Amino acid sequence: VSDDTAPVTLRERSLDAVADHIQAGGAKNVLVMTGAGISTAAGIPDFRSKDTGLYANLARLNLPYAEAVFDIGYFRDHPEPFYILAQELYPGKFYPTISHVFIALLAAKGLLFHLFTQNIDTLERRAGVPGDKIVEAHGSFATQRCIDCKTPYPDDKMHEHVLAGNVPRCEECNGLVKPDIVFFGEALPDEFREKAHYAAAADLVLIMGTSLSVHPFAGLPGMIREGVPRVLFNMERVGGLGARSDDVLELGDCDAGIRKLADKLGWRDELESKWREL
Ligand code: CNA
């Protein structure tokens, strides 16, 4: 399929047509998929952006390879680098972006079907997206437990340790404590497996700020039914998006793309005031 293949659902392959489709009631089950790119404007680096991404800036941690900082095997022997990073990334210091708030606005309008996020920063929740709509595919910093005996570890103590840059240890068995974020080498939460099939019931998909390079999350766009518009808000084209006749590519900063869509929907003032009032 070439980029100019005529769409079957949208009037044309543009944000204008996506907005018209929403206004006409064609999208009542909007599925949103997010990644680290929606939080870079909040000051949280992503993994893979060329100069600003975490992987480009990990040299000081003396890792054997960049991904090791999130590798469960490496963590068992060397938990310190992860905790140096956790001190920087820990939730509480950051403020949701316009893109986060747009998802909350979709929910407030009764249009959000589900949000699948790879992010661990919990900013969607802080922006007001209802918890029962969020699938945290890679877990989050919200809870933590011992990697050996699995005993949960108290939030307040975790907070103290992370802010001090210390490695917390289990109070039962002295094992290492890790936030419930999914490391390389670990299974995704049951919730992801149970809900991944929701993708097939979506009638519009908004994909924002992800390189779509981590599986199985990266497989979700492929589970969307043919003819369902998939809109990509990302710095770069990823995941083969654009290959289907109803795909729309909005390449560039996702907040800018989201503001453009909000303008076309006539939601811009509401969006900005919701953001300011957080
Ligand atoms: P990634 O692989 O780093 O990709 C990020 C994508 O976003 C890239 O394609 C960038 O071009 C794009 N991007 C960056 N900034 C913007 C912007 N302002 N507007 C639009 N696009 C932008 O990150 P993924 O999320 O795809 O990878 C999955 C990993 C990253 C997950 O396991 C996450 O847990 C992990 N991660 C999460 C956070 C967070 O929670 N904020 C931060 C860093 C990494």
Active site residues: 138
Out of 46, 54, 58, 120, give the residue to mutate to test ligand 1, the one with the largest number of ligand atoms within 8 Å of its CB: 46
Mean pLDDT computed over 262-278: 97
Report the alpha-carbon distance of residue 11 to residue 111 in Å, rounded: 20
Mean pLDDT computed over 129-146: 96
What local confidence, expressed as pLDDT, does residue 4 receive?
65
Report which protein residue has its CA nearest ligand 1's atom 29: 118
CA angle 157, 161, 163 (to 5 degrees): 115
Q: Does the pLDDT at position 62 exceed 90?
A: no
Instruction: Output the CA 34–ligand 1 centroid distance in Å.
Output: 8
Ligand 1 neighbour 42 (Cβ under 6 A): no
pLDDT tens-digit map of 103-112: 999 999 999 9
pLDDT tens-digit map of 64-94: 998 999 999 999 999 999 999 898 888 888 9
Question: For residues 247 and 230, is the Cβ–Cβ distance under 8 A?
Answer: yes
Instruction: Output the CA 123–ligand 1 centroid distance in Å.
Output: 13
Length of the chain (residues): 278
- Residue 59: φ, ψ to 5°: -55, -40
Assess: ipTM above 0.90: yes
Q: Does the pLDDT at position 2 exceed 80?
A: no
Out of 47, 54, 82, 181, give the residue to mutate to test ligand 1, the one with the largest number of ligand atoms within 8 Å of its CB: 47
The mean pLDDT value of the chain amounts to 95
Mean pLDDT computed over 166-191: 96
| pTM for this entry | 0.95
Please give the number of the atom of ligand 1 that sits closest to the Cα of 36: 25
Least confident of 48-57, 73-82, 133-142: 48-57
